[in-house]
Each structure stands twice: as structure tokens, then as C-alpha cells.
A and B are shown apart, each in its own frame.
Chain A
Amino acid sequence: MSKIEKNIDTSTIDTFSCMPDENGHFGLYGGRFVAETLMGPLEELEEAYKKYINDPEFNAEFVSDLKHYVGRPSPLYHAKRWSEQLGGAQIYLKREDLNHTGAHKINNTVGQALLAKRMGKQRVIAETGAGQHGVATATVAARYGMECVVYMGAEDIKRQAINVFRIKLLGAKVVPVDAGSKTLKDALNEAMRDWVTYVDKTFYIIGTVAGPHPYPAMVRDFNAVVGREVREQCLTQIGKLPNTLVACVGGGSNAIGLFYPFLDDKEISIYGVEAAGGGLSTGKHAAPLNAGKPGVLHGNRTYLMEDDYGQIIETHSISAGLDYPGVGPEHSWLKDTGRANYVSVTDIEAIQAFHDLCQIEGIIPALESSHAIAYTSKIAPKMDKNEIIVVNLSGRGDKDIQTVATHEGITI
């Protein structure tokens, strides 16, 4: 890996929002590492994306669907009781859990489905871990009248039975993936295999800011509506910008959606929270930015969980949506440049935060988002009472009730 050089001099970086370069690189990360058959289709996708992202008619339809179908803007809610109990910073929750389908995932699937429609693709496919992206893809496929196939690891199908049924109710087909660890990474492999086979008529809606260029940039841009709204809401509701942003990071789409519009406000500190599972020291976690190494998987160069010979290793997290061995390449770049801090919280800490938010604020958060909540409860008490933290409450926790009950030995 002769290309990987660390210790980048960040003082020379004027802007953090200019990535990727024209070849899809975020510094050393990103790029396009796929089989030859997909290179042509990716170039075609990139062209279409560049064309429509600045097309007024495309944007008008995107904004209109986000408003009337998704229910945007989502509220920025002042969690007063929780802030008071922690005794430090004022915490605001960006309520992506209130979106149609219950998570931020729909922002991106609406954008990609509108693009698919314009590219004349009648069939969409997706990979899913927790099932949220599968639901969001099946939803837009129904809305725009497209055929939809969702790939899901056999292990995740067991963990997320309710979302599997939701996807089917929406008229999509769920294909179980039995290869490898039977989780999200294997679902992604299988979706890629489908795409390479039916590439003429198929649009692959990737659910996170990973994959070959232009996916990391495209998925970020469709999710950046989150950060733009937060910026506006902070100015109107509080009269100033936040001091700190916190979001959970699996692949990292909700996090980059919140962070991106603030990257050049260098006085704002940014925290991405990875899943430490049973603890970083146990090796049973899903925290490549904290404990992984750079490598190449799923079409991009990024931090990965791998063994000494470059084989991808199994990840562990109570939250299926964070159970992924890689991370979006832009996060790898933000880590190396020091613009964002990447920390981790364990399963146990996340579950505690899940209960806290339920009982203190009357909000049931997704286990993914509970990681961000948990980290916030660590830093808020150390901050001043007039400082502001914005946490991305990326999804609602109804889907996780069974998991929490099982974890606590309760039969529903």
C-alpha cells in the first residue's frame, strides 16, 4: 500500500467540503475498485448524477417529495429534561426518526429512485442490514412503480423479522444471503452480483456512503438535507450555530448527512460514534475507524476490519445497522485529516442510552442512534450550559424492541 501516507498537514487544507476529486478520491480513500463489467455503468451513473444534481426540474421534484411524501423538514427538538439531568450542554435532537419509514434512509432512496427513473431503469435493487434501507427502497419502488429486489443476510433476516415483512408488504422481494457471515457485507456482495448480471435494466440503490464512486458522494448529497436543515433551524430557533455535532457511524450516511454542511465551520467539533460491541479490546466490535486498517472492499478504499492477510473479519454489534466491517471513504479522510473525531460506545452503553431516552424524553430511539445518544451523555456534562450539541436521531427504535427484550431476557 505504497499510497497510504498518514500525518496529513491539516493546516494546509482550506476546505473540507470539496471532496471527492474528479476520480472519486477523498485523499487516499474512495475510488472505484470494481470488476470491469461495472466500470461502464458507473461512468454512465456518474454522468447522469452530475447532470441531474444541478437540474432545476429534478431538484424541484426531489424537494417536493421530501416535503410531501417524507414529511421534511424534520424537527430539531430541544431535549430539555435530558439536558438538565446531564447538567451541561443543551442537547438538540434532529428528529430523522419522524420521517416516513422511520429513519434518514428515505432521503437517499427518494433521490436515487428519481435518478433511476430518469435513467430509464425499471428495476431497483438494494442491500440491507437492519432492514431500514430495504424498507426505504421498497417504499420508493412502490411509490414510483418499479420492480424491487432486496438482498439481506440470513442472520439479519432472523434479527429483523418485522422489517422483512414490511419490505414484502410494500411489494418487494427479499432474497436471503447465506454466504460468508450472512450479514450486511454479504448482502452487499450479492447485490453487486445481481447488478453485474442485470446491469442494463437495473439501478443499484446503495444505502450508505460507501461503494464505488459516485455512490459515496451521491448518497452524501442526498442526505445533506439533514445538515442544511439543522443549520437553518439552529439559526432560527437558537440564534446561533451548534458547538458540537454527534452521529452514529456504520457506513456513515446519517453522520455525513449531518456533518457535511458544517465541515468548513472549523470551530464546530464533530464526533462520529462507532459500535464497540463487546468492547474494542475484545475484538468483537464494528469500529474500523477506531481499530481497523485501510484496505479495499466493496468498490472503495477505506478503513476496514480485516486480518493480517487482508481477509475481512466478522463484526459484532447489537445494532444490525452498524454491523459492517467498512465505513464510507469520506469518514476515513475526515479521520486522517483530524477534522472529525471518531469514538466508540459498547452495546451495553448503547442500551442504557436507549432506555434513558425512552424514559426521560418519551422517544424510543433506534439502537444505531442510541450509540450517538450514549456518547452525547458522556460529553454533555463537561460542557457549558449555553453550549449546544446537535445529535442526529437517525431512526426510531420500534424495529429494535425485540432485540432489546431478548438482550434483557424478556419474552414479549
Chain B
Amino acid sequence: MSRIEACLSTIKKNNGKALIPFLTAGDPSPSITANLMHELVLAGADIIELGVPFSDPMADGPVIQRASERALAQKTNTDDVFNIVKDFRDKDKITPVILMGYLNPIEIMGYKKFVEKASKVGVDGLIVVDLPPEESADLQEALKLHDIDQIFLLSPTTIGDRLNKICKAASGFLYYVSLKGVTGSNQLNIKKVEEKIKEIRAQSTLPLAVGFGIKDAEVAQAVGRISDAVVIGSALVEKIAKYSGNTEEMIEEISSFIISLRKALDNI
């Protein structure tokens, strides 16, 4: 069983909800990302989603775009991202780490080499935003050799046969994009999300995470009630940006934010 599956099934057994914060590797600088990841775990994160910076993040809203720009301004490259995961793994052998990014940085390294490096440093899952299942056969093959889960996204526009196909191809968990839009949007409709989740549950028994547009403890709790895991991206990255000049203050802020989300999910 992969680290992701083990993590999620334990949480489910205890009737809990998983909390998955997202941060961009190298934002505000590559030297503190691993520390931030530890702090997130201390505050109650179950899985860490680590963004691989890309110059043209088409599916992201302004908050995560700027995080990518800050990371690239610090010259964060793919090998730095692997080093960050390695540093994190030195002290934390349990918390699953998922890389989230775009295809081009993976493609230029070569699928095989990328996956070998990722596996070696302890990456557990991979989300490639612009790689739909139709184009992912080669990457999937490489990932299977190293037991890394490829996490597929489902969206409000994923219907019919397509929904069925993706549910069958997925491993680890399913990630439902809660709205039509980019990360950090402000228009999540909980009723619509609930309807879609019912539809997905009818097709798959994999754990289901929901992301995009979850900005505070209240929304997290509402989403947690109808799913297995909640992803927090832009709302967290915004705090990292706000306190980027003062690491101590930043850690305090993001920790108390994650603690508030943890409490909200534990009180479901």
C-alpha cells in the first residue's frame, strides 16, 4: 500500500478528514520550504501538496501565479524541488508528499529521469495539471515502476464516459476541482459540489479530496462534511506572501491558520 493510501485509509477508519495544504516550492525561498512543510505537519496537515514552479501556470489564479514567479525569481529549479523533498524526508518519513505542477518541466527532464529522482527523494504522488489521462500513458508507465500515484483531477465539466474512464485510471485518491475557474476563485457552491460528489462516489471507492476556492475554516468544514479530504492552496499561499519578509511571523500565521482548519475538520 502506498503512503498516500495508508494515510487516507487510517484517517477514514477513525472517521476523520484529511487536511492537504498546498505551498509552492521555493516561495519565498528554497531554503525555508522544507521547514514550512514541517510546520504545516505540526499544525495538523496530513498530506503536503508541493507546487513545482512554472513560468506559465495556466490553471492558476493570481495568488499562485505570483508564488511561482517569486520562486523562479529565487532561481528555484526542479532539482531544488527534489532537494526540498529530500530535506523534508530526512526528518519526516510518514507524511505523504504530492508534487503538483505542469508538464513541461517534467517533459524536458524526461519522464523516466523525473520519476526516478522523485521516487528517490520520497515523493508519493504527482498531479500534472495540464496532462489529461488521454495523453498520460507514458508517464503513467514510468510512475507505476516506482509506486508513485498519479492523481487525476475531476471537474464540474467531467461528465458521462469521461468521468468513468478517469475513475478507473486513478490511484491514491481523486481530486475534485470544486468550480469552473482557476485556483483561488471565490464562488464555491457547496450544493453543486455535493451533487457532483454523489455522482463520483457512484463510480469509484477511492478517497475523494476537494480543492479550489476553499478559503477558510468555515468553507473547509462544509466541504469536509461531504468529502474525505480538503485542499487549501491560495488562502495559505496568500499568508506566505504577506509575511515573506519575516519567517518567524509567517510560521506563526500559517500555523494558526492550519490549526483553525484542523479544528474545523475535527469537529465534523
Contacts and interface: CB of A to CB of B under 8 A. Distances in A.
Interface of A: 1-3, 23, 31-41, 43, 179-180, 185-186, 189, 192-193, 196-200, 293, 295-299, 301, 304, 306, 308-313
A310 B107 contact: yes
Given A297-B104, A306-B108, A40 B157 contact: yes
Interface in B106-149: 106-112, 129-132, 134-135, 138, 142
Interface of B: 54-59, 61-62, 65, 69, 72, 77-79, 102-112, 129-132, 134-135, 138, 142, 152-159, 162, 166, 177, 180-182, 185
Contacts of A186: 56
Contacts of B185: 197
B157 A1 contact: no
A386 B102 CA distance: 52
A41 B134 CA distance: 15
B104 A312 contact: yes
Which of B57, B58, B111 neighbours the largest number of chain A CB atoms within 10 Å of its CB? B58
Nearest to A41: B157
B104 A306 contact: yes
Given A2-B110, A199-B180, A39 B129 contact: no
B37 to A, nearest CB: 21
Which of A2, A199, A310 neighbours the largest number of chain B CB atoms within 10 Å of its CB? A310
A197 B188 CA distance: 12
Contact of B132 (A2, A39, A189, A199): A39
Given A35-B130, A39-B157, A311-B104, 11 more contacts: A3-B138, A34-B58, A35-B153, A36-B158, A36-B177, A40-B157, A185-B56, A189-B56, A193-B58, A196-B181, A200-B180
Contacts of A193: 58-59, 61, 181-182
Contacts of B106: 310
A307 to B, nearest CB: 9
30 contacts: A1-B110, A32-B132, A34-B130, A35-B58, A35-B59, A35-B155, A36-B166, A36-B177, A37-B181, A39-B134, A40-B157, A179-B65, A179-B69, A180-B56, A185-B56, A189-B56, A192-B58, A193-B59, A193-B61, A193-B182, A199-B157, A199-B180, A293-B108, A296-B102, A309-B78, A309-B109, A310-B54, A311-B54, A311-B72, A312-B104
The A contact surface, by secondary structure, is: mixed
B185 to A, nearest CB: 7
A301 B138 CA distance: 14
A37 B104 contact: no
A198 B187 CA distance: 12
B63 to A, nearest CB: 12
Contacts of A2: 110-112, 138, 142
B157 A296 contact: no
The 10 A-B pairs at the shortest CB distance, nearest first, are namely: A310-B108, A310-B105, A40-B157, A37-B155, A35-B59, A197-B181, A310-B104, A36-B153, A311-B55, A309-B77
A299 B131 CA distance: 9
A41 to B, nearest CB: 6
B130 A37 contact: no
B135 A33 contact: yes
A312 B53 CA distance: 12
A309 B105 CA distance: 6
Which of B55, B109, B138, B142 neighbours the largest number of chain A CB atoms within 10 Å of its CB? B55
Nearest to B61: A193
B162 A39 contact: yes
Contacts of B142: 2
Contacts of B155: 35-37, 40
B161 to A, nearest CB: 10
Contacts of A296: 102-104, 107, 130
Contacts of A3: 138
B131 A180 contact: no
